[in-house]
Amino acid sequence: MDIAIRTLNILLPTLYAFLWADYALLFFRDDPFARRSAKHLLHLTVATHAIYLILRTTVYQHFPFATVFEAASVIAFSVTVLYLLIEARIGVLTTGFFILGIVFPFQLVASAFVVAPESFSELLWQPAFMLHVSTALFGYSGMAISAVYGVLYLMLFYDIKKHRFGLIYKRLPSLEIMARFTYGTATLGLVFLTIAMVGGLALLVQVYGTYWSWDPKLMITFAAWLIYGACVGASRWWGWTPKRVAFTSIAGFVVILFSLVFVNLVLTRFHEFV
């Protein structure tokens, strides 16, 4: 089984590279072959990634979140699954080039540096912890997609404003659809992250006997939660324009990236499980 895991670890970034190339052909050239094959390759990649994560969980006996690189692979999977659901909902394939453009680097780095930890915290096998981590990662994934749709909304908005009706205008969905999914995925991400934070605080009491920690990871995550809470709340109740929502969503995702990369690698040991 270890050989199968190593094989899939090499295969996954290859599949994501081909998938990204397929969606690039679809976006830039509206290639007929890419239009036929992209959806099938997307399903194949998601299925392969799911098998890989299940194998890592069962063979190595822990939820694959012991290291930053295991988490990167789970995030790549979560974003791809959410994008698959969005694509099925709106029937538009051309945004895939941009979404998968952030997924491929995550999985490439994960495959290049991931190792099987020799030891890990018992927390990684507890259902409550797995729920906490899963909801957090789906929250991050929803916010990542919201930020991408926010960028695309702004690109399309300014192209229309300047009367440039080029490739962006021809390939992307309407401003209304882009605004709806920027807001919708931000809301989805906020809901998942809220569940994760509540579960995390409950685990904090259970494991450490305290209701709070001034750990940089917790503080940055809380800051991102506040930004997305303001984004969703202001749009719903204060009449924020889609453009302002897009800018706020992008700002929130920058905070999340800082948390996932710099904070995890440099500033904190609180969320290390090896």
The three state secondary structure string of 45-80 is HHHHHHHHHHHHHHHHCCCCCCCHHHHHHHHHHHHH
pLDDT at 270: 44
Domain match, 179 and 215 both: yes
Domain match, 36 and 159 both: no
As a whole number of Å, the CA-based R_g of the chain is 19
Helix ranges (DSSP H) in 91-174: 96-113, 127-161, 167-171
Question: Could you read off the pLDDT of 98-131 as tens digits, one per residue?
Answer: 999 999 999 999 999 987 766 566 666 677 777 8
Contacts of 262 (CB under 8 A, 6+ apart): none
Exposure string for 38-76, b = 16+ CB within 10 A, e = fewer: beebbeebbebbeebbebbbeebebbbbbbbbbbbbbbb
Domain match, 139 and 262 both: yes
Which amino acid would we find at residue 111?
S
Q: Please say whether the beta carbons of 98 and 28 come within 8 A.
A: no
Domain match, 63 and 198 both: no
Query: Of 120, 155, 180, which marks where a domain is finished?
Result: 120
Q: Please say whether the beta carbons of 227 and 255 come within 8 A.
A: yes
Distance CA 31, CA 99 (A): 19
Taking Cα atoms as reference points, which of 85, 83, 84, 63 lies closest to residue 74?
Answer: 63
pTM confidence score: 0.86
Domain match, 151 and 83 both: no
Phi-psi region of 112 (alpha: psi -120 to 50; beta: other; left: phi over 0): alpha
Domain match, 190 and 259 both: yes
Taking Cα atoms as reference points, which of 199, 187, 56, 67 lies closest to residue 136?
Answer: 199
- In the 8-state DSSP scheme, what is residue 209? S
Query: How many domains are contained in the chain?
Result: 2
Q: Please say whether the beta carbons of 94 and 22 come within 8 A.
A: no
Domain match, 58 and 190 both: no
Domain match, 162 and 267 both: yes
Quote the tokens at residue 241: 């324009």
Domain match, 168 and 105 both: no
Stated length of the chain:
274
pLDDT at 256: 84
Phi/psi at 212 (nearest 5 deg)? -160, 155
Q: At what angle do helices 96-113 and 127-161 cross, to 10 degrees?
A: 140
Query: Of 90, 120, 150, which marks where a domain is finished?
Result: 120
Domain match, 131 and 267 both: yes
pLDDT at 273: 44
pLDDT at 226: 92
Quote the tokens at residue 16: 């994501």
- Residue 17 lies in domain: 1-120
Q: Please say whether the beta carbons of 196 and 141 come within 8 A.
A: no
Residues of the chain with pLDDT under 70: 117-125, 206-214, 260-274
Distance CA 145, CA 212 (A): 29
Query: Of 103, 120, 137, which marks where a domain is finished?
Result: 120
Domain match, 73 and 14 both: yes
Domain match, 137 and 54 both: no
